[in-house]
Amino acid sequence: MSEVFVSYARSSEAQAKQVAEALRSSGYGVWLDDDLPAHRSYSDVIEEQLKSAKAVVVIWSADAAKSQWVRAEADAAREAGTLVQVSMDGSVPPMPFNQIQCANLGDWDGDVDAPGWRKVSGSISALAGPRTSAVAETGPARSRCSVCVLPFVNMSGDAEQEYFSDGISEDIITDLSKVSALSVTARHTAFAFKGKTVRVPQVARELNVTHVLEGSVRKAGGRVRITAQLIDGAAGDHLWAERYDRDLTNIFAIQDEISAAIVKALKLKLLPEEKKAIENRGTHSADAYDLYLMARQYWVSGNDGDGRRDEIILRICRQATDLDPNYAQAWALMALAQMVLRFRHGKTVDDGMAAAERALALDPKLAEAHAIKARYLSDEGRHKEANVEIETALQLDPESWEVNREAARLTFKEGRIDEAAQYFRKATELMDTDYYDPGLLVVCYTALGDTEKAKSAAEITVARAERALARDPSNGAALGHGAYSLACLGESERAKQWMNRALLVDPENPIMRYNLACALTTQLKDHEAALEMLEPYLATATLSQVTYTEADPDMDGIRDDPRFQALIAAARRRASAGDGAAA
């Protein structure tokens, strides 16, 4: 990632390139939007580069002050404390940016000794660090070794085995991230290249990494074949390559060998505590590990709202914990499935707390278990305790998809929409097969009045929903989130087609029905149809679901409708008379 991000209106493109050239000649890595790759979403790359930049130079002009993109980028930099402002035509930055110093480069001709430019370079030096003349002469020096682990290709001839190749890729990313001398590209960035034909030097330049790891996985019966090759990002040469053809029971040994080989090839030192951390897999059973990866994939992209999905997850996790009773992650996922079955579907199973506590007893630092406990406490109305648990989970692993998803759910339910959007966005980035979180992100941005971001999230949701439907055409949850997002994108007729299809293939899915009601009231403005869709949902909703509905900004369009108020009141009375359990 580049150190300096330059934001500008199109009319100032020449000045922006002049600024970028001056910074590059001083030794800084600079990103302009003319560096956008053709294969990735514009908004995704912009956000990624903004978040990673140490300094953001905003070039203000009359046109820039009117640009939603420039204002949004300036606002993000202001919040992050990375904003450096420049005026090219004497324009004063718009509110609230006029409260921050702005360098005047109205007559600047590229002279790096000009007073205005010295002000700019001084601010960038303070944020991104100084550059010496030696660095300036040789260009930006690369920092420590850095690597991007591209998603390993599933060569099993069975798309259903993709969960396994993805799991291997994720584990190698996690393993290498534990090596202090190595910088590793985040999973969501690496997985943006999944399924695409890429040139390694191009990937290395785009991500500013020194090396790229790519490979493939073939799993059949009790055997697994993994190939891996470490490639020099600049030269494109193979630094190391190996093929492993072994029994599946040796999967952990293979992963350890790959990590060790990469460390050795890069001439890095692996500290004893780092080696120990890499070798800690949570289980010694390859079969239990395989089962956990399978169950997790059902949770990520299965049919949310269909109790059969959760029953499958529960069965798989029980088998995994039978194979290894000390597998904390499998116990945590089992707890989640039990909670949903008990409190959303009314099944006579355990409420999940015993399994969650078992996971925490085995591994007190397992962030996912703390997040699942937070879900239970939140749905019980014990909000203070829930927030303590979710904060603990976020501190333990801020990069966990499960943790960010539960943090988003908790804050959304409490009406903290702006905060929920941050967690939904993070969860969306962390898991490329997840259509649920970008779908809720559309809801958040719509409520916050950010149309552009809502549409960007909607595009992601539709694309992921289509992939989920390609695997399972009867996935009502994917149809529900997809319909909402299509309506957000202005594709009303297609949204209605998805709604009709959803009601035909999965009519008993209450979560899908709720999402369709949200699309009708917020996006399609058909309030009567929304109320008709909500009525059977609220007739069986739990107390937690009623509370969620009351807090949902999608209900704002019908909140004052007497029929909606009567439905909510009746649902609350019925749910309160029961056990008050959560969804």
Half-sphere exposure of 82 (CA within 13 A, CB side): 21
What letter would DSSP give residue 559? T
CATH of segment(s) 4-138: 3.40.50.10140
User: Per CATH, the architecture of 287-364 is what?
Assistant: Alpha Horseshoe (1.25)
- Tokens at 422, concatenated: 């941050």
Quickly state the pLDDT bin for 387 (edges 50, 70, 90): very high
pLDDT of 1 higher than 70: no
Q: Does 540 score more than 90 pLDDT?
A: no
What are the backbone angles phi and psi of residue 186, rounded to the nearest 5°? -60, 155
Top-ranked range on mean pLDDT: pick from 30-34, 49-53, 311-315: 311-315
Higher pLDDT, 342 or 533: 533
> Dihedral sign, CA of 405, 408, 410, 413?
negative
Q: Find the range with the poorest average confidence among 87-91, 134-138, 204-208, 563-567.
A: 134-138
The rounded distance, in Å, linking the Cα atoms of 324 and 503 is 41
Q: Tell me the per-residue pLDDT of 438-470, one tens digit each, with 9 for 90 and over.
A: 999 999 999 999 999 999 999 999 999 998 898
* pLDDT for the residue numbered 162: 84
CATH number of 146-281: 3.40.50.10610
Task: Name the percent of the chain lying above pLDDT 70.
Answer: 94
| Distance in angstroms (rounded) separating the CA atoms of residues 540 and 387 | 28
What does 290-313 look like in DSSP terms, one character per residue?
A: HHHHHHHHHHHHS-TT-HHHHHHH
Report the C-alpha gap between 350 and 172 in whole angstroms. Answer: 35
On the question of pLDDT at 303 being above 80, the answer is: yes
Which residue bears the tokens 């609350």?
A: 572
d(CA 41, CA 23): 26
Cα–Cα distance measured from residue 495 to residue 502, given in angstroms and rounded to the nearest whole number: 10
Residue with tokens 């009303």: 492
The residue count for the chain: 583
- Over its C-alpha atoms, the chain yields an Rg (Å, rounded) of 26
Dist CA 298 CA 310 (whole Å): 8
pLDDT of residue 186: 81
Which pLDDT tens digit goes with each residue over 99-128? 777 888 877 877 777 777 877 887 888 787
Classify each residue of 54-80 as buried b or exposed e, where b means 16 or more C-beta atoms within 10 Å of its C-beta: bbbbbbbbeebbebebbbbbbebbbee
Q: Where residue 136 falls among pLDDT bands split at 50, 70, 90? A: very low
User: At a CB cut-off of 8 Å and minimum separation 6, what does 493 contact?
Assistant: none
578 pLDDT tier (thresholds 50, 70, 90): low
pLDDT confidence bin for 26, thresholds 50/70/90: confident
Quick one: pLDDT band at residue 141, thresholds 50, 70, 90?
very low
Q: Where are the domains of the chain?
A: 4-138, 146-281, 287-364, 367-416
Cβ–Cβ < 8 Å for 77, 49: no
Tell me whether residue 107 is exposed, middle or buried, using C-beta atoms within 10 angstroms of its C-beta: 0 to 12, 13 to 18, 19 or more.
exposed
Average pLDDT on 299-305 reads 83
Q: DSSP assignment, residue 508?
A: T
CA 345: distance to chain centroid? 28
Q: If you average pLDDT over every residue of the chain, what do you get? A: 86
- Rounded Cα distance, 305 and 477, in Å: 7
Topology match between the domains 4-138 and 146-281: yes
Q: How far is CA 203 from the centre of its chain?
A: 20
Rounded to 5 degrees, what angle do the CA atoms 145, 150, 156 make?
Answer: 145
pLDDT of residue 459: 93
CA pair distance 583, 571, nearest whole angstrom: 14
Average pLDDT, integer, range 207-211: 89
Q: How far apart are CA 8 and CA 90, in angstroms?
A: 15
| Between 318 and 574, the higher pLDDT residue | 318
| Residue 575 · residue 581 · CB < 8 Å | no
Rounded to whole angstroms, the Cα distance separating 291 from 278 reads 21
Q: How many CB atoms lie within 10 A of CB 342?
A: 20
Among 429, 421, 435, 497, smallest CA distance to 466 is for 435
